[in-house]
A and B are shown apart, each in its own frame.
Chain A
């Protein structure tokens, strides 16, 4: 079945540091890929998505490129802020997903210190 693996946290960074969160997936065909973010005390929010190979999703300074050859969708941000402290989830929606079900990775907690 479909699965998503992402690096375990917590990841602790200083403000303005470069952030990378690795995400790899297993699925048949070409799934859609997502990054969701969960800020403290809030629900998950869609951060960015990519629906086909080589697509780059971007939002709020974050980027991720859909790499079919390496089955990866790594999240990057060039200069993080304290407000980026949150839990980040990589997810996929399979090609044959009935009812548009999402499969989530384990989540990566990011803490940005001033």
Chain B
């Protein structure tokens, strides 16, 4: 299957700092990338959908100024958590839909665990 990487795999930061998480599709180009948040022992919550070269579409209740998404190329999307606070601590997961692939197929990255002190 397609390979999706995330970097870093885990990060610890101080409250008030910003953290950038990268999502890369390694062996294909991605038309669409999704960002999810997963709380411990809970399901994935979609945060936003991004398409290369256009602004991300955020789900209701997700602060777009706090969670900045940049889909700069067909293989890279970044999520920046600005002025992070302890309540932002979570597991962040990206997924991608390949160009030319089934539109109902998403390939998931391994996730990034963010801990804000």
Contacts and interface: CB of A to CB of B under 8 A. Distances in A.
A17 interface: no
A43 B110 contact: yes
Q: Is the contact region of chain B dominated by helix, strand, or loop, or is it mixed?
A: strand
Interface string B38-56: 0001111010010100000
Chain B interface size, as a band, is: 20 to 34
A93 to B, nearest CB: 5
Contacts of B95: 44, 102
A42 interface: yes
B104 A93 contact: yes
B25 interface: no
A100 B32 contact: yes
Contacts of B41: 107, 109
Contact of A46 (B42, B105, B111): B105
B42 A107 contact: yes
Interface of A: 32, 36, 41-46, 49, 51, 89, 93, 98-107, 109
10 contacts: A36-B108, A41-B110, A43-B108, A45-B1, A46-B1, A99-B57, A101-B34, A102-B95, A107-B42, A109-B41
Contacts of A44: 44, 93, 95, 108
B71 to A, nearest CB: 12
